[in-house]
Amino acid sequence: MSRLEDELRQALRRREPPAGFAERVLARAHPRESRRPSWFHWRWLAAAAALMVLVVGLYFFEERRRRLEGERAKQQVMLALHLTGSKLRLAQQRIQRFIGPGAAFQD
């Protein structure tokens, strides 16, 4: 190995930064932490976004389920009214048979 290379190694050896360098870096790093969220905060943001998507999805699912339930209930109401009406009509027909064909009935 040549003398030049030896001298270069010595000339270019590592040197410590000026005193307080680390503290100055840390001081600059911490304000940045509040300005720009760290990777840790981004994960929470992603988790919050995913949760919101889930909640919105569940809301729409629940709305659809309620609507289907309402439709089914509506059909059952109409069926109930028709069923009740048919039994009332049946009862009236029995009155007609009982009283006789001559009576004036509402129909």
Q: Which residues bind other proteins (CB under 8 A)?
A: 2-5, 7-18, 21-22, 24-26, 28-29, 32-33, 36, 38-40, 66-67, 69-71, 73-74, 76-92, 94-95, 98-99, 103-107
Q: Among residues 50 and 83, whose Cβ is nearest to other proteins?
A: 83
Cβ closest to other proteins, residue 24 vs residue 50: 24
Query: If you write DSSP's letter for every residue of 46-91 in order, what string do you get?
Result: HHHHHHHHHHHHHHHHHHHHHHHHHHHHHHHHHHHHHHHHHHHHHH
Least separation in angstroms between CB 54 and other proteins: 25
The Cβ-side half-sphere exposure at 88, using a 13 Å CA radius, reads 8
User: 103: Cβ–Cβ under 8 A, 6 or more apart, which residues?
Assistant: 96
Answer whether 65's CB lies under 8 Å from 55's CB.
Answer: no
Q: How far is the CB of 57 from other proteins (least distance, A)?
A: 22
Closer Cβ to other proteins, 54 or 96, answer by number = 96
Is the Cβ of residue 49 or residue 74 nearer to other proteins in the bound state?
A: 74
